[in-house]
Homo-oligomer: A and B are copies of this chain.
Amino acid sequence: MDKEKKYSYKHPRPSVTVDCVVFGFDGTTIKVLLINRGIEPFKGKWALPGGFVQMDESIDEAAKRELKEETSLENVFLEQLYTFGEPNRDPRGRVISVAYYALINLDKNDPIAGDDAQKAAWFSLKKIPSLAFDHHEILRAAHYRLKGKIRYRPIGFELLSDKFTLVQLQNLYEAVLEILLDKRNFRRKIMSTDLLIELNEKDPKSIRKKAQLYKFDKAKFDELSLKGFNFEI
């Protein structure tokens, strides 16, 4: 990168950070990953994982990098959410935060175990502690986006293992949407998309009747997407 650009400007500039709302699903409730801040400001408070955008990386790259550094998570669903820029949202000065949200599968990933000696913990979406900065607002926006998007994009599968049962899938939708769904109607609707592959396996973790396992047919979905198909639940 050139140190001096041809038309560069001199003026005061804000700092730009990325903050990441990491959602996980434990089979019953939606969880959010929070970091206990080791430094001021808000030392000791819980906050979303995040950090400053470097000069030579895109914002998406910054979000991926911070997620990896703070939670060791890689190759997960990550999408830009909204940019928060009230002048006094950070006591350090003018800091604009580009918020992202991530969806991860708790069985495959254990961000807390791999965590770089930081205090990270999962909190149920219903029991979030007091958060640093405007992170409550960011979290609300992320949940709102997830609630809306799960109905018309197949992003719920990101929160489950590759193999899952229909009961698990329904529990996930109920937890995200915060409503109860009719079992028969849910199954009919999800199967009518013809995007679940029935496996020759039952879930050994079922404690009574063994539940049928399925996986999401991503290849078929991607193919249909090109033709303008819309996933709708």
A interface list, Cβ under 8 A from B: 1, 5-9, 11-16, 40-41, 52-53, 55-60, 80, 82-83, 85-87, 91-94, 96, 98
What number of copies of this chain does the assembly contain? Answer: 2
Which residues of B lie under 8 Å from residue A52 when comparing CB positions? 9, 11
Q: Is B6 a contact of A94 with CB atoms below 8 Å? A: no
Which residues of B lie under 8 Å from residue A98 when comparing CB positions? 83, 85, 96
Q: Is B55 a contact of A87 with CB atoms below 8 Å? A: yes
Query: When chains A and B are docked, how far (Å) is the Cα of A94 from the Cα of B53?
Result: 11
Q: Is A85 a contact of B53 with CB atoms below 8 Å? A: yes
**A-B contacts, 28 listed (Cβ < 8 Å):** A1-B87, A5-B92, A6-B41, A6-B91, A7-B40, A7-B91, A7-B92, A9-B15, A9-B92, A13-B13, A13-B14, A13-B16, A14-B53, A16-B85, A16-B96, A53-B85, A53-B96, A55-B87, A56-B87, A57-B87, A58-B85, A58-B86, A58-B87, A59-B85, A60-B85, A83-B98, A96-B96, A96-B98
Which residues of B lie under 8 Å from residue A60 when comparing CB positions? 85
Which residues of B lie under 8 Å from residue A40 when comparing CB positions? 6-7
